[in-house]
């Protein structure tokens, strides 16, 4: 019989509603799992044990007194350290913010709590969320449970590892350049990057995000099952929270004529694609064809220019202050090394400067809209390579190819489209996966297609941390 920490969020909620287990039992099981494995992977940075058990006891008492159970009743969740949680520090992985305690929850966290979810821990991230490997000077490095010698991804790497190892069935991260989808790929779990405007960005006065993050970044869930992505997503989209981008659009769009067409994109327009990544996409294409989708290989419109426009907007409009302090005064030595190594490649990735990048963004969006009006779904790599060895992203030569490797992820951020990351199996001892991209506000189509791939793929997680290449346990 499966232990509680092995169960999916939907199953846990049903057990609580049917009074087969209490919320306290569910929460305690996950706190015990954190105690058992977190020291080996360093994914959960702050354990919210007392608060979680207190919330569970209060909700259990209300259930005994006849109060209706919420749809996420008793489901434990972890939350990345750049998301506001009342009474907990929003550190962004920076030591200087270790005491930046949030006075209230971010809108989607408040909504998830109202649906019955219970935060059990905060999770690790790279400094500023600006690295594709998770580690910082405040909390240290997070280890991939599949192989300590490979990155867990970033910037939502702490949540991906926590979910992959059973410390929580759902994690709350965010995605400004693949930061949900890339760690999901590295750790063998699922992730949903919602459409721009779907989930409110912030409800705190006086702390607006820079324009680039308002436009390009979104909050989203990580889970072991596509059904749990859908369950969490349905209960994190209902509060505007003062976000001017927020759009209260129906979660379920109109039915589409069948068979639904899927464009398979293999060519990232430069840099090549790792054979294991190609195999994962081809496998997923075959599974979708078996499920009744009409699968065709195409080239994505304006992909190279989309990557350049993304880089220009992020470069020019991601600062929170007019006077930016030197990075070495805020970040760890390792992050300073990373940025020094990456900055030349980042600057080259901007390409020819646009007169007005938002005008070019609109032109690219129109081209994608025309393309997706004929083939609504896109099946593509998340990244052109699988999880890289720890330390590779400190090598300037290796980093030269990284912007091109991520083009199919950052175009999703540039255009505000939804995408679901879903595992397809493993190769070389590491998980493999793909992303399903859909039209704006059609997360339902992406989730449906991802569920078909998942149904035809062996489960990869939850996983006990494996041995690293030296034979030492993670």
Q: What pairing do the DSSP bridges indicate for beta strands 170-175 and 76-80?
A: parallel
Residue ranges of alpha helices (H) inside 396-442 are 396-399, 402-405, 407-415
Task: List, in sequence order, every residue forming a beta bridge with 288; answer none if it has no partner.
Answer: none
Rounded-to-integer distance, Cα 207 and Cα 97, Å: 14
Rounded-to-integer distance, Cα 68 and Cα 65, Å: 9
> Among 179, 195, 263, 332, which one carries the catalytic annotation?
179
Q: Tokens standing for 10?
A: 């939907």
Answer yes or no: 155 catalytic.
Answer: yes
Angle at 314 between CA 381 and CA 140, to 5 degrees: 75
> Among 22, 147, 155, 385, which one carries the catalytic annotation?
155
CB neighbourhood size of 252 (10 A): 10
For 39, the 3-state DSSP assignment is helix
Rounded-to-integer distance, Cα 399 and Cα 373, Å: 35
Measured distance between the N- and C-terminal CA atoms of the chain, rounded to whole angstroms: 26
Answer yes or no: 22 catalytic.
Answer: no
> Among 80, 147, 195, 332, which one carries the catalytic annotation?
80
Answer yes or no: 473 catalytic.
Answer: no
Q: Nearest Cα to 301, choosing from 249, 375, 234?
A: 375
Q: Tokens standing for 118?
A: 């219970």
Q: Do 106 and 83 touch, CB atoms closer than 8 A?
A: yes
Angle at 366 between CA 365 and CA 372, to 5 degrees: 85
Residues that are catalytic: 80, 155, 179
């Amino acid at each position: 019989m499966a232990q509680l920490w092995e169960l999916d969020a939907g199953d846990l909620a049903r057990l609580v509603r049917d009074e087969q287990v209490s919320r306290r039992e569910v929460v305690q099981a996950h706190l015990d799992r954190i105690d058992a494995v977190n020291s080996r992977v360093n994914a959960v940075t702050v354990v919210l044990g007392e608060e979680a058990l207190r919330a569970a006891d209060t909700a259990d008492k209300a259930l005994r007194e006849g109060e209706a159970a919420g749809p996420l009743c008793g489901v434990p969740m972890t939350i990345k350290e750049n998301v506001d949680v009342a009474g907990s520090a929003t550190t962004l992985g920076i030591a200087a913010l270790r005491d930046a305690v949030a006075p209230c929850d971010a809108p989607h966290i408040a909504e998830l709590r109202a649906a019955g979810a219970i935060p059990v821990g905060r999770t690790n991230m790279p400094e500023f969320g600006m690295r594709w490997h998770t580690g910082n000077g405040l909390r240290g490095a997070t280890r991939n449970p599949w192989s300590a010698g490979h990155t867990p991804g970033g910037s939502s790497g702490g949540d991906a590892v926590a979910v992959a190892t059973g410390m929580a069935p759902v994690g709350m991260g965010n995605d400004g350049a693949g930061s949900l989808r890339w760690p999901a790929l590295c750790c063998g779990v699922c992730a949903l990057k919602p459409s721009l405007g779907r989930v409110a960005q912030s409800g705190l006065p006086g702390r607006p995000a820079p324009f680039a993050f308002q436009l390009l970044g979104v909050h989203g869930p990580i889970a072991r099952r596509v059904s749990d992505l859908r369950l969490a997503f349905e209960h994190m989209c209902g509060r505007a929270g003062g976000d001017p981008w927020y759009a209260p659009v129906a979660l379920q769009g109109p039915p589409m004529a069948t068979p639904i067409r899927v464009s398979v994109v293999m060519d990232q327009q430069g840099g090549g694609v790792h054979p294991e990544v190609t195999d994962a996409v081809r496998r997923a294409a075959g599974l979708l064809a078996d499920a009744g989708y009409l699968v065709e290989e195409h080239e994505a419109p304006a992909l190279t220019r989309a990557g350049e426009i993304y880089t220009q907007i992020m470069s020019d409009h991601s600062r929170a202050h007019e006077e930016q302090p030197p990075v070495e005064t805020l970040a760890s030595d390792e992050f300073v090394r990373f940025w020094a190594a990456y900055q030349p490649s980042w600057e080259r990735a901007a390409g020819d400067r646009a007169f007005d990048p938002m005008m070019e963004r609109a032109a690219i969006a129109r081209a994608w809209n025309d393309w997706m009006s004929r083939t609504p779904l896109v099946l593509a790599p998340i990244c052109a390579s699988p999880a890289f060895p720890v330390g590779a992203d400190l090598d300037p030569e290796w980093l030269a190819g990284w912007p091109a490797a991520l083009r199919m992820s950052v175009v999703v951020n540039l255009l505000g489209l939804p995408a679901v990351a879903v595992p397809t199996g493993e190769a070389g001892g590491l998980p493999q996966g793909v992303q399903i991209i859909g039209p704006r506000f059609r997360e339902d189509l992406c989730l449906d297609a991802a569920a078909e791939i998942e149904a035809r793929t062996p489960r990869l997680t939850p996983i006990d941390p494996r041995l690293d290449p030296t034979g030492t346990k993670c």
